[in-house]
A and B are shown apart, each in its own frame.
Chain A
Amino acid sequence: MTAMPNGKKRRSGPQASALLAALLVSVILEIASLGDFIDEQKPEFAALVLVYYAAVARLRFSIELSLLAGLSIDLLQGAPLGINALALCSQVYLISSQFESFRRYSYWQQALIVGIVNLIVSVTCYWLAHMLGQSAYEANFIIPALLLAALWLPFRLLVDLAVKPDLSKEGEADGED
Chain B
Amino acid sequence: MGKPERGKNYLIHIRFATAALLCLVIMAVDVRSKALNDFRYYLETALYPILAFADSPHKVTKYVSNHLKSSNELMAENERLSAENYIQRADILRLKSLETENEAMRRLLNSPVHRTSKRLFAEVVDVASDVYQRRVVINRGTGSGVYVGMPVISDSGLVGQVISVNYAFSRVLLLSDPNSAVPVVNDRNQIRAIASGDGSSDELLINNVPRSSDFKAGDLLVTSGLGGVFPEGYPVATVTSVGFNESQPFAFIKAKPIVDASKMRYVLLLWYQRSDYEEPDDKVIAKERTDGKVILRQNRIRDLIESMSKEQPHMSGDITTNGQDAAEAAGAPAQGQPGNGGAQ
Q: Report which A residues bind B (CB closer than 8 A).
A: 27-28, 30-34, 36, 39-40, 42, 63-64, 66-67, 70-72, 75-83, 85-86, 89-90, 93, 96-97, 126, 128-130, 132-140, 173-177
Number of chain B residues whose Cβ lies closer than 8 Å to a Cβ of chain A: 52
Residue A42 contacts which of B28, B128, B135, B198 (CB distance < 8 angstroms)? B128
Instruction: From known contacts A63-B12, A75-B43, A97-B12, infer whether A139 and B20 are also in contact, taking CB-CB under 8 Å.
Output: no
Measured between alpha carbons, how far is A89 from B16 in the docked complex, in Å? 7
**What are 7 residue pairs bridging A and B, where the CB atoms are less than 8 Å apart in the complex?**
A34-B128, A81-B40, A93-B16, A128-B27, A133-B31, A136-B178, A137-B200
Mark B1-22 against chain A: 1 for CB-CB distance below 8 A, else 0.
Answer: 0000100110111011001101
- Chain B residue nearest to A63 (CB atoms) is B15
B residues less than 8 Å from A76 (CB atoms): 44, 47, 50-51, 54, 127
Q: Taking the complex as formed, is B254 at the interface, i.e. its CB lies under 8 A from any CB of chain A?
A: no
Whether the pair B26, A81 counts as a contact (CB closer than 8 A) is: yes
- Closest CB-CB distance, B252 to chain A, in whole Å? 15
Measured between alpha carbons, how far is A136 from B171 in the docked complex, in Å? 17
Excluding A82-B22, A89-B19, A90-B20, 20 further A-B contacts by CB distance (< 8 Å) are A31-B50, A31-B128, A32-B55, A64-B19, A75-B44, A76-B54, A77-B130, A78-B44, A79-B133, A81-B27, A83-B27, A86-B23, A96-B12, A128-B27, A133-B178, A134-B130, A137-B198, A139-B199, A176-B8, A176-B11
Whether the pair B24, A86 counts as a contact (CB closer than 8 A) is: yes
Whether the pair A132, B31 counts as a contact (CB closer than 8 A) is: yes
Whether the pair A177, B36 counts as a contact (CB closer than 8 A) is: no
Chain A residues touching B, majority SS: helix
Whether the pair A32, B27 counts as a contact (CB closer than 8 A) is: no
Measured between alpha carbons, how far is A40 from B134 in the docked complex, in Å? 12
A residues less than 8 Å from B53 (CB atoms): 28
Q: Report which B residues bind A (CB closer than 8 A).
A: 5, 8-9, 11-13, 15-16, 19-20, 22-28, 30-31, 36, 40, 43-44, 47, 50-51, 53-55, 57-58, 126-135, 137, 164, 171, 177-179, 198-201, 262
- Closest CB-CB distance, B126 to chain A, in whole Å? 5
Whether the pair A33, B128 counts as a contact (CB closer than 8 A) is: yes
Residue B128 contacts which of A77, A85, A128, A129 (CB distance < 8 angstroms)? A77
A residues less than 8 Å from B25 (CB atoms): 82
Residue A135 contacts which of B30, B51, B171, B178 (CB distance < 8 angstroms)? B178
Whether the pair A134, B179 counts as a contact (CB closer than 8 A) is: yes
Measured between alpha carbons, how far is A138 from B205 in the docked complex, in Å? 14
- Closest CB-CB distance, B136 to chain A, in whole Å? 10
